[in-house]
Structure 1
Amino acid sequence: MVKQEQIRQSKEIQRRTGKTFHLATRVLPERVRHETYVLYAFFRVADEVVDAVDTAPPAEQRRRLEELRRQALGEEDADDPVLTAFAELRETHDIPASDVDVFIDAMLSDIDTDRYETYEELEAYMDGSAAAVGRMMTQIMETPQAEQALPHATALGEAFQLSNFLRDVREDVVERGRIYLPQETLRKHGVTEDQILNFEFDENFQAAMREELQRAEALYREGVEGIQYLPEDCQFAVLLAAVLYADHHHEIRTRDCDVLSTTPSLSTSRKLYLLAKTRLYWALERDPVAVFRRVSVVPYPDESETTRDSGHSGPSPGRTTGSGASRWTGGRVSGWLRSFTRSE
């Protein structure tokens, strides 16, 4: 059984390094929330090995990652409380060893790979670095309809990762010398590697970003379709995570896709606004796709621009909500939000 001290350490790692994911984790039921802290902390421990380029040579990074693999799979005693907790978690929830392997393999590839020729190559990387995370989350949620949920969990994990890559183009170059945008997309729009390395924004780079934003948004639409297959007490948290991560696209488009000059970020007030808004619509209609369409910035092909705004404020056409019911629900959500922001 995972100990309280292990949970506390894992929670602190998540709070410090994954603020957006931490917010969504806090609305998970306790039976899943503590395990999610451990899961995220394990990912960060491995990620920090890869990012330690200035303090550890590649051979040492590979050695440590292989050590993490063995400890995570319970093949040797762990030397870190987070790894001990993860190994117990994996066994308790029957997380496939293949997902641990593909995740560690992705971290190993980060040591040597800093460019991706095609989207298919990037997708193969994301299967380990992100999609495997979604599949592990499905396991710890104890999802009865796992077979239906897993393809969508894979898509949603890739969507989160791709949004991060699109947001962090400048940061990845500055801190790691990496370019995650597919080289074929850049060439298609006449963008050179030197242009990115020198942070030279123009309409060609803007066009490349727009293409990849659309690709990510298709993944969000596919991923959110599968939230219905998750346990009911976990659906809102996953929906909220999708709304929050997708909202980076709003920040990117607000800057005309110029992520070379600065790295966009969501303010705390924006996150809390989206939390309250998602909670309000969830109280009115517990349909993940319907709520995502109303709250998120992800466009749907059958939607007219006249029915949308930048934050999807207000119900979509064809749905009416009585003012009395709205005020009653809004009051409940407001009280819940005040309670939520005071708790930790």
Structure 2
Amino acid sequence: MQINEDYDYCRQIIKSHSKSFYYGFSQLPEDEAKAVYAIYAFCRTADDIVDGNESEAEKREALQLLLQQIDSFEHGEQIDHPMWRALADVRNKFPLDLAMFRKQVTGQMMDLDFRQPATIEDLYHYSSHVAGSVGELLYPILAGQDTQAGRKAADNLGIAMQITNILRDIGEDHREKQRIYIPKSMMQTYQYTEQNLINQEINEAFIVMWEALAQDAEDRYNRFYPHLIDYNRESRQPLLVAALIYAEILNEVRRNNYNCLTRRNKVSLISKKKISTIALQILKEEHT
């Protein structure tokens, strides 16, 4: 069937670009897993537009087209593309907040008009757009309900994951994209300069600054875990696995002596399997 091919198109995108997400969410029931794949495909499409090799004008045009497609989709128009056909099927089964799709695109536009965040609040604002929006999209699908508290917790988890991405990719973001996501105020506070970053210096100032942001992310993960009870029972383990794997990225950077400037830190498949077992045990203990 065409719809199965459309979902497989989306599944390949998440499998190729985020093994951590795929490992966790592929364990969901079929309909929920397919919904995650389709939503991820949309977010990846927006992200790839900004990170592509096209001119800035072409990128802006592509993002505007994506916003127009959201409008068309909202009005029930059929868009002849695997991702949109999959999303149309998702909308027949689950609630889809299209405001969060627009929020995601707005976040990508922030990267197109990139400015280093001046404050930690600016970083939260950006992270909420590019990652918190995903959490808010998935919450009603995986929870079977839609509450303000649940959305806030999902947004908070997204911010934690985005901060984790930033801490993992400091060197790559600066080297390949000329972007610094560490807020200017933090770099000034800890006396770590862009020249230090250019020199790939992992000194005490860098480590203390990195740990300050890592602690922020870890606090957010810890505040999210009690909200797992808000989600459908079959969604809790995959969601906990995804969160724990992301949190483990921070430990991988620590084990590699904070070298996130010249190497890519990732969680091994063996570690992911251990985390999956731990998550299952945690949930079992909570229900006994």
User: If the length of structure 2 is used for normalisation, what is the TM-score?
Assistant: 0.92
1:167-186 aligned at under 5 Å gives the runs 167-186=168-187
Q: Structure 2 vs 1, CA of residues 37 and 169 (structure 1 numbering), >3 Å: closer, same or farther?
A: same
1:1-40 aligned at under 5 Å gives the runs 3-40=3-40
Query: For residue 159 of structure 1, what is the aligned residue in structure 2?
Result: 160
From 60, 63, 66, give the equivalent of 2:61. Answer: 63
| C-alpha separation in 2, matches of 1:102 and 1:78 | 20
Query: For residue 298 of structure 1, what is the aligned residue in structure 2?
Result: none
Find the residue that maps to 1:226 and give its secondary structure: helix
Asked if the contact 1:154–1:223 (Cα under 8 Å) also holds between the matched residues in 2, the reply is no
| C-alpha separation in 2, matches of 1:166 and 1:90 | 34
| C-alpha separation in 1, matches of 2:61 and 2:207 | 40
Letter of the 1:47 counterpart: D
| C-alpha separation in 1, matches of 2:79 and 2:193 | 45
Worse-matched range after superposition: 17-26 or 94-103: 94-103
Describe the superposition over 1:211-240 as per-residue Cα deviations: whole angstroms up to 9, x where unpaired. 101111111122222111111111111111
Asked if the contact 1:148–1:226 (Cα under 8 Å) also holds between the matched residues in 2, the reply is no
Letter of the 2:59 counterpart: Q
Asked if the contact 1:2–1:89 (Cα under 8 Å) also holds between the matched residues in 2, the reply is no
Letter of the 2:63 counterpart: L
**How many pairs does the alignment contain?**
285
Describe the superposition over 1:7-30 as per-residue Cα deviations: whole angstroms up to 9, x where unpaired. 111111111111000000111122
Using the TM superposition, give the Cα deviation of residue 255 of structure 1 relative to its aligned residue in structure 2, in angstroms: 2.6
Asked if the contact 1:199–1:260 (Cα under 8 Å) also holds between the matched residues in 2, the reply is yes
Find the residue that maps to 2:151 and give its secondary structure: helix
Asked if the contact 1:93–1:142 (Cα under 8 Å) also holds between the matched residues in 2, the reply is no
Using the TM superposition, give the Cα deviation of residue 280 of structure 1 relative to its aligned residue in structure 2, in angstroms: 3.0
Letter of the 1:36 counterpart: V
Worse-matched range after superposition: 131-140 or 107-116: 107-116
Query: For residue 263 of structure 2, what is the aligned residue in structure 1?
Result: 262
Q: Structure 2 vs 1, CA of residues 217 and 255 (structure 1 numbering), >3 Å: closer, same or farther?
A: same
Using the TM superposition, give the Cα deviation of residue 63 of structure 1 relative to its aligned residue in structure 2, in angstroms: 0.9
Using the TM superposition, give the Cα deviation of residue 274 of structure 1 relative to its aligned residue in structure 2, in angstroms: 1.3
Find the residue that maps to 1:179 and give its secondary structure: coil
User: If the length of structure 1 is used for normalisation, what is the TM-score?
Assistant: 0.78
Asked if the contact 1:50–1:111 (Cα under 8 Å) also holds between the matched residues in 2, the reply is yes
Q: Structure 2 vs 1, CA of residues 135 and 2 (structure 1 numbering), >3 Å: closer, same or farther?
A: farther
Question: Any unmatched runs of 5+ in structure 2?
Answer: none
Letter of the 1:34 counterpart: K
Using the TM superposition, give the Cα deviation of residue 46 of structure 1 relative to its aligned residue in structure 2, in angstroms: 1.1
Using the TM superposition, give the Cα deviation of residue 265 of structure 1 relative to its aligned residue in structure 2, in angstroms: 1.2
| C-alpha separation in 1, matches of 2:113 and 2:92 | 31
Describe the superposition over 1:83-136 as per-residue Cα deviations: whole angstroms up to 9, x where unpaired. 332245346533223211111101111112141111111111111100010000
1:99-178 aligned at under 5 Å gives the runs 99-144=100-145, 146-178=147-179
1:264-343 aligned at under 5 Å gives the runs 264-286=265-287
| C-alpha separation in 2, matches of 1:112 and 1:20 | 28
| C-alpha separation in 2, matches of 1:114 and 1:148 | 31
Describe the superposition over 1:160-215 as per-residue Cα deviations: whole angstroms up to 9, x where unpaired. 11111101111111221111111111110100012112312211111100110111
The percentage of counterpart residues that share the same residue type is: 27
Q: Structure 2 vs 1, CA of residues 63 and 77 (structure 1 numbering), >3 Å: closer, same or farther?
A: farther
Asked if the contact 1:2–1:88 (Cα under 8 Å) also holds between the matched residues in 2, the reply is no
Answering whether residue 161 of structure 2 is matched by residue 190 of structure 1, we say no
Query: For residue 78 of structure 1, what is the aligned residue in structure 2?
Result: 79
Using the TM superposition, give the Cα deviation of residue 141 of structure 1 relative to its aligned residue in structure 2, in angstroms: 2.3
Asked if the contact 1:190–1:204 (Cα under 8 Å) also holds between the matched residues in 2, the reply is yes
Structure with greater helix percent: 2
Describe the superposition over 1:251-282 as per-residue Cα deviations: whole angstroms up to 9, x where unpaired. 12213323223221111111112112222333
Find the residue that maps to 2:215 and give its secondary structure: helix
| C-alpha separation in 2, matches of 1:170 and 1:79 | 39
Worse-matched range after superposition: 270-279 or 21-30: 270-279
Using the TM superposition, give the Cα deviation of residue 58 of structure 1 relative to its aligned residue in structure 2, in angstroms: 1.0
Asked if the contact 2:172–2:262 (Cα under 8 Å) also holds between the matched residues in 1, the reply is no
Query: For residue 254 of structure 2, what is the aligned residue in structure 1?
Result: 253
Query: For residue 200 of structure 1, what is the aligned residue in structure 2?
Result: 201
